[in-house]
Chain A
Amino acid sequence: MSDFNLYSRGDKIFGYANMFLIALFVLSTLYPFIYIAAASISSGFAVSSGQVVFFPKDITFAAYDKVLSDVVFWKSYANTFFYTIFGTLVSLAIIIPGSYALSRPQLIGRRYFNFFIAFTMWFNAGMIPFFLNLRDLDLLDSRFGILIAFACTAFNIILLRNFFEAIPKSFEEAARMDGAGDFSLLWKVFIPLSKPAIVTVALFCIVARWNGYFWAMILLREEDKIPLQVYLKRIIIEANMDDEFASTLLSSSYSFETIVAAIIVVSIIPVLLVYPYLQKHFNKGIMMGGVKE
């Protein structure tokens, strides 16, 4: 703002104090990332003796070599990409047509269908019946189960439905004149007009898929199928590495701590890459689907 100079002395002090506090907050948000990045390229000894605080010490990429040569790591990484991409596509394939139908005034019982969806936000059966149901459906330890069982959330549907409802009737009427049915109306009019909302929903799905670990941990048994977050949990939280892996720790320039740091860095990188794109959209998403229905 150009009228900054018009502020009185007290206001200027207020402004600087405010900036200082924000800077502190930002720094404390950022610090864990800085530390982990520094630790990941330092020697194991430097990290465990407390010499790494802000900057790396005895720079080495041994921890990365170790992590990136682990086959299970790459498999879980690939699995996460698979679950994220196809899971999001499955979600959109169900949510987009469904939300469109819910937004149609001619849908008979529309109020009841809307309630049918929204009710699941207030009440759900919970962990055990959900699990037993998947067991009955034979979806335990199944990639398909992971893709389909978490496809919809009422929140995303309501967000998209609201966006569809706000599209001016004139677009629809013009298409109807040309004899368009609901299939082509959705495909040729509503989807192109709703790109921002669809991208927002897709991003919510992507983030949820990328970060989700709980149900993958419960449902998947075979190591070939586990996503990155479950792998991370095993290594980082349970400190579970095979003996061969562990035995190399004693004689190397990496340590358990630097390995963990390197794994964290490698798994955050894709998030950082899509983050600018995410940030552009989630403001919109919050405003569209947030506090009000």
Chain B
Amino acid sequence: MNKLDTNKQGAPSSMSPLSALLGKIKADWQVYVLLAPMVIWFIVFLYVPMGGLQIAFKDFSLFRGISGSSWVGFEHFYTLFEDENFLRAIQNTFVISFYGLIFGFPIPIMLALMFNEIHHFVFKRVAQTIAYLPHFISVVIVAGLVISFLSPTTGIVNLTLDALGFDKIYFLTNPEYFRAIFIGSNIWKEAGFDSIVYLAAIASVNPSLYESAKVDGATRFQMMYKITLPTILPTILIMLIIKIGNMVEVGFEYIILLYQPSTFETADVISTYIYRVGLQGSQYDVATAAGLFNAVVAFVMVYAANWLSRKYSSSSLW
């Protein structure tokens, strides 16, 4: 940029590169002042903890602190991979994510296509408003709703089952049901909101395509299937890649509200394992090792996802 050479002294070319740099910084010092709080915040709250990851390789105690604790190499990782509960948590993480993807991924797409086919403006507006709402409700309340609906004694589901002559089902203590409950309530919470991305993509479809299809006698279903869907296919692909990249992130804040020891078998994921071992059990070093494993797997998957999207779609994620 050629701005402001008038009232600020540009560094003469005879000066050393360092003083030239300092001159430039001095000329725009306000920009650096504006940047500083954010950079400091990132260092203090996100990068310093990355240094703290070293306790994954140390015999950490709060008394000795990070630097005073002695190195133990990969010992905590050996401990983890001999722990059946940790292996189970890895498996559960991917199983829950996988089922979540299979059942949860297509629904927002179908919703967007269906919303797009509503031509009654008020109906459409009201339907969308209601569909997005649960996204803004906290997981504590969603878990509260689930617990109160499924309660064996007073929940509406079991009261209905009872009235119909069926046996009561202890939904939340039976590991068989956990994943269905978790994934189902997540779909209830997020499917509507997730459809927004696809609706935005649909908005970019060229209307003349529909016009000419109509002239050719296409039905609305054919137009949806042959025009709308192919147009949003790149968006679908990108969203799929993002979701696969984020598979390690299963909403653990929600899981710890819903699970209990009797359902750990199917419900315990890596992050909930870290929470229990680290924050509840104070085994900071082992939990950090688990966290490091989790972060590395997540990083590799997100990185691979981005690489894929760069390769197969025109736009990369970042």
Tell me the A residues contacting B by CB distance below 8 Å. 1, 4, 7-8, 10-11, 14-15, 18-19, 21-23, 25-26, 28-30, 32, 35-36, 47-50, 52-53, 93-95, 97-102, 104-108, 113, 116-118, 120, 122-133, 137, 148-149, 151-152, 157, 173, 176, 179, 181-183, 186, 207, 210-214, 218, 229, 232-233, 236-237, 255, 257, 260-261, 264, 267-268, 271, 275-276, 278-279, 282-283, 286-287, 290-293
Contact yes or no, A101 B291, CB < 8 A: no
Q: Indicate whether A128 sits within 8 Å of B137 (C-beta atoms), given known contacts A107-B28, A176-B4.
A: no
The answer for the CA separation of A211 and B156 in the assembled complex, in Å, is 26
Residues of A close to B242: CB separation below 8 A: 291
Q: Pick out which of these stretches binds chain A: B30-38, B79-87, B94-102, B174-182.
A: B30-38
A50 to B157, CA, bound (A): 9
Can you name 11 extra interface pairs (CB under 8 A) apart from A25-B192, A214-B256, A290-B200? A19-B120, A32-B145, A97-B34, A126-B295, A128-B284, A128-B288, A130-B49, A212-B138, A237-B140, A267-B138, A286-B196
**B302 contacts the other chain (CB 8 A):** yes
Q: Are B137 and A125 in contact (CB under 8 A)?
A: no
Q: Identify B197's interface contact among A123, A179, A290, CB under 8 A.
A: A290
Q: State the CA gap A130–B47 with chains docked (Å).
A: 9
| Residue pair A271, B114 in contact (C-beta under 8 Å) | no
- The answer to whether A25 and B200 touch across the interface, beta carbons within 8 angstroms, is no
**Bound CA–CA A176/B7 (angstroms):** 11
**Residue from A94, A130, A182, A275 in contact with B136 in the complex, judged by beta carbons closer than 8 Å:** A275
Q: Count A-B pairs with CB separation below 8 Å.
A: 274
Q: Which of A101, A212, A233 has the most CB of B within 10 A?
A: A101
Q: Which of B32, B138, B294 contacts A101 (CB 8 A)?
A: B32
Q: Mark B220-238, 1 if CB is under 8 A from A, else 0.
A: 1100000000000001001
Q: Are B24 and A117 in contact (CB under 8 A)?
A: no
Q: Is the CB of B38 within 8 A of A107?
A: no
A-side contacts of B220, CB under 8 Å: 7, 11, 14-15
11 A-B residue pairings within 8 Å (CB atoms): A1-B119, A15-B119, A94-B38, A106-B3, A126-B295, A157-B38, A182-B31, A211-B138, A261-B148, A268-B137, A286-B196
> Chain B residues with Cβ under 8 A from A148's Cβ?
41, 45
Residue of A26, A93, A137 touching B131 (CB-CB under 8 A): A26
The closest CB in chain B to the CB of A172 belongs to B3
- Contact yes or no, B291 A126, CB < 8 A: yes
Q: How far is the CA of A133 from the CA of B66 in the complex (A)?
A: 10
**Alpha-carbon separation in the docked complex, A229 to B1 (Å):** 49
A122 adjacent to B303 (CB under 8 Å): yes
* B247 at the binding interface (Cβ < 8 Å): no
Give the CA-CA distance A94 to B45 in the complex, in Å: 13
The reply on B287 being an interface residue by CB < 8 A is: yes
Q: How many residues of B contact A (CB 8 A)?
A: 100
B148 touches A124 (CB 8 A): no
* Residue B133 lies at the interface, judged by CB distance under 8 Å to chain A: yes
In the complex, the answer to whether A232 meets B288 with C-beta atoms within 8 Å is no
Interface residues of B (CB under 8 A from A): 1, 3-4, 7, 21, 24-25, 28, 30-35, 37-39, 41-42, 44-46, 48-53, 55, 66, 111, 114-115, 117-120, 123, 126-127, 129-134, 136-141, 143-145, 147-149, 151, 153-154, 156, 159-160, 162-163, 188, 192, 196-197, 200, 219-221, 235, 238-239, 242, 253, 256-257, 271, 274-275, 278-279, 284, 287-288, 291-292, 294-295, 298-299, 302-303, 315, 317-318
A128 CB contacts on chain B under 8 angstroms: 52, 55, 274, 278-279, 284, 287-288, 291
B31 touches A106 (CB 8 A): yes
A interface majority secondary structure: helix
CA of A278 to CA of B138, assembled, Å: 15
B34 touches A182 (CB 8 A): yes
Q: Quick one: given A36-B145, A236-B143, A279-B132, are A101 and B35 in contact (CB under 8 Å)?
A: yes
What is the bound-complex CA distance between A127 and B21, given in angstroms? Answer: 39
Nearest CB on A from B315, distance (A): 6
Alpha-carbon gap, A292 to B204, bound state (A): 15
- The CA-CA distance from A22 to B113 in the complex, in Å, is 11
* Residue pair A149, B42 in contact (C-beta under 8 Å): no
Q: Once the chains are docked, how many angstroms separate the CA of A132 from the CA of B283?
A: 12
Tell whether, in the assembled complex, residue B127 and residue A137 are in contact, meaning their CB atoms are under 8 Å apart: no
**Is the beta-carbon distance between A98 and B35 smaller than 8 angstroms?**
yes
Tell which of B46, B144, B256 touches A120, judged by Cβ atoms closer than 8 Å: B46
- Given the complex of chains A and B, what is the CA–CA distance between A11 and B242 in angstroms? 35
- In the assembly, what is the distance between CA of A7 and CA of B210, in Å? 13
